[in-house]
């Protein structure tokens, strides 16, 4: 995913300059440069070559992903490979703005799983005494960590990926199509394949906004967001504005305007009801 001709330190420096708008001064003798270069140069890929992903490689990536840290060794994450083309089409019918899901050689759904530990408690004659919000969070976080491990492993192997959180827009449909029982819920999908285009590095908020020392600090947040809007616009402006009929055409359309418009209307407002139907009290 990075320039194979550039030395790793130079590749990292170039990627992070785009990402954060500043120089980092990467030493050439820093251990782990190859892995760091892959991480720094991450791109979401939405265009894939038709070549399949070899089953042995996919199995290896599953193993690497599920080698991730897990809360208290509970192992509350599952991966569902949606290999059936008709099933995938039925899922995509509920996600019309994401046709690239059909183009990806591999489509996965990462799920949180609180069901196994309940079964284990029953088998061992123990009560389940953690019927509260945290046990949902544990499973959701486990699934997210496993998905990120899969992304890192896939990119190290030369593949591209694109996470699909929008599967939670159709959580009931996903549950029905994938036969998810109570205690199991979708966290995100993931497109996987050989990239047909390099994609672009998305700029991120400066570290001064998102990394804190000893205490949370947002004293310069607004000016930092304004500067980030300009830097991101200069690097990769939005192709179109969101919800123009409702909010009109903005003279300058940056990241913060786009995200404000996105969250000006409810998204997945019924997801909590779905999670409760899956057996989580969320108390």
Residue range 63-108, pLDDT digits in tens: 999 999 999 999 999 999 999 999 999 999 988 888 889 999 999 9
Q: Look at residue 98 in the predicted model and tell me its pLDDT.
A: 85
Residue 134 and residue 229 share a domain? no
Residue 214 lies in a domain: yes
Q: Token pair for residue 55? A: 């089953």
Query: Residue 34: pLDDT above 50?
Result: yes
Q: Look at residue 99 in the predicted model and tell me its pLDDT.
A: 84
Residue 70 and residue 31 share a domain? no
Mean pLDDT of 167-187: 96
Q: What is the pLDDT of residues 227-247, one digit of tens each?
A: 999 999 999 999 999 999 999
Q: Look at residue 259 in the predicted model and tell me its pLDDT.
A: 97
Residue 72 and residue 180 share a domain? yes
Q: How confident is the model at residue 1 (pLDDT cuts 50, 70, 90)?
A: very low
Residue 214 and residue 189 share a domain? no
Mean pLDDT of 4-17: 90
Residue 160 and residue 67 share a domain? yes
Q: List the domain range (segments joined by +) for residue 17.
A: 8-40
Residue 160 lies in a domain: yes
Mean pLDDT of 6-27: 95
Question: What is the average pLDDT score of the chain?
Answer: 95
Mean pLDDT of 189-200: 94
% of residues, the chain, pLDDT over 70: 98
The answer to whether the beta carbons of residues 101 and 163 sit under 8 Å apart is no
Please tell me the total count of domains within the chain: 3
Query: Residue 4: pLDDT above 70?
Result: no
Residue 48 lies in a domain: no
Residue 144 lies in a domain: yes
Mean pLDDT of 146-170: 96
Q: How confident is the model at residue 33 (pLDDT cuts 50, 70, 90)?
A: very high
Q: How confident is the model at residue 198 (pLDDT cuts 50, 70, 90)?
A: confident
Residue 29 lies in a domain: yes
């Amino acid at each position: 995913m990075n320039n194979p001709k550039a030395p790793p330190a130079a590749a990292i420096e170039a990627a992070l300059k785009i990402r954060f708008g500043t120089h980092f001064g990467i030493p050439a003798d820093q251990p782990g440069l190859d892995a760091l270069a892959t991480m720094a140069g991450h791109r979401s890929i939405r265009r894939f070559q038709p070549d399949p992903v070899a089953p042995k490689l996919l199995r290896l990536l599953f193993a690497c992903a599920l080698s991730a840290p897990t809360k208290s060794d509970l192992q509350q994450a599952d991966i569902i490979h949606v290999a059936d083309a008709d099933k995938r089409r039925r899922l995509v019918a509920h996600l019309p703005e994401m046709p690239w899901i059909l183009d990806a050689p591999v489509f996965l759904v990462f799920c949180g799983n609180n069901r196994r530990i309940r079964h284990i408690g029953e088998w061992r004659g123990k009560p389940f005494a953690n019927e509260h919000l945290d046990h949902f969070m544990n499973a959701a976080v486990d699934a997210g960590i496993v998905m990120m491990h899969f992304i890192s492993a896939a990119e190290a192997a030369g593949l591209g990926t694109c996470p699909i959180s929008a599967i939670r827009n159709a959580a009931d449909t996903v549950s029905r199509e994938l036969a998810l029982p109570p205690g199991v819920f979708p966290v995100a999908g993931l497109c996987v394949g050989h990239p047909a285009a390099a994609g672009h590095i998305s700029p991120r908020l400066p570290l001064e906004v998102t990394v804190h020392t000893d205490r949370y600090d947002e004293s310069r947040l607004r000016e930092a967001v304004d500067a980030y809007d300009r830097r991101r616009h200069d690097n990769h402006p939005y192709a179109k504005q969101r919800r123009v009929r409702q909010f009109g055409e903005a003279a300058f359309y940056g990241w913060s305007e786009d995200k404000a418009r996105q969250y000006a209307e409810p998204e997945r407002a019924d997801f909590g009801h779905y999670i409760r139907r899956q057996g989580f009290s969320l108390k």
